[in-house]
Structure 1
Amino acid sequence: MEFTKLGNSALNVSKVCLGTMTYGDQNTEAEAHEQLDYALARGINFIDTAEMYPVPP
């Protein structure tokens, strides 16, 4: 897994991010755990938990 510095912080995050927007509605809890386990086992440490981002007009 490749990592990069996050902004001006000292944090190093994976260049691949796991998005979790569908957790709870489109994915079951068991599927969510399976996907998180899969990502973590491969070194992904950047997880986007936002439900949605605003769409510009």
Structure 2
Amino acid sequence: MAVPFFNLAPNLTVSRLCLGTMTFGEQNSLPQSYRLLDQAFDAGINFFDSAEMYPVPQRAQTQGRSEEYLGRWIRERKISRDRVVVATKVSFLFPNLR
């Protein structure tokens, strides 16, 4: 079964399925994260949500890790940035988190 896509903008085609990466660095190691990203991308998913605002309690030690792992995967796999769509969140309510 092919992953369905839709046009989000004139030059932006996005998979209707999005892989959430919030557990990367917390519950998933870097190698496990790469395997999940490889499988999703090979299946046609090009939409990734790196927001890690949901784990409770949040831990300063792992904040930003999902974005780091996703960015490293894109760079190391030499995936052209125009082939992936990345969603994330920004927070200002937690002063100890980056």
Normalised-by-shorter TM-score class = 0.7 to 0.9
Q: CA deviation at 1:23?
A: 0.2
Mapping of residues 1-57 of structure 1, within 5 Å: 1-6=3-8, 8=9, 10-52=11-53
SS in 2 for 1:18: strand
Between Structure 1 and Structure 2, which shows a larger proportion of helix residues? 2
**Structure having the higher Rg:** 2
The code of the aligned residue for 1:44 comes to I
Q: CA deviation at 1:3?
A: 0.2
Runs (5+) with no aligned partner, structure 1 = none
Tell me the percent identity: 47
Q: Which has the higher contact order (CA 8 A, sep 6+)?
A: 1
Q: CA deviation at 1:9?
A: 5.2
Runs (5+) with no aligned partner, structure 2 = 54-88, 92-98
SS in 1 for 2:32: helix
Alpha-carbon displacement from aligned partner over 1:2-51 (angstroms, at most 9, x marks no partner): 10122x55311000000000000100111100000000100100001111
Segments ≥4 residues shifted beyond 2 Å: none
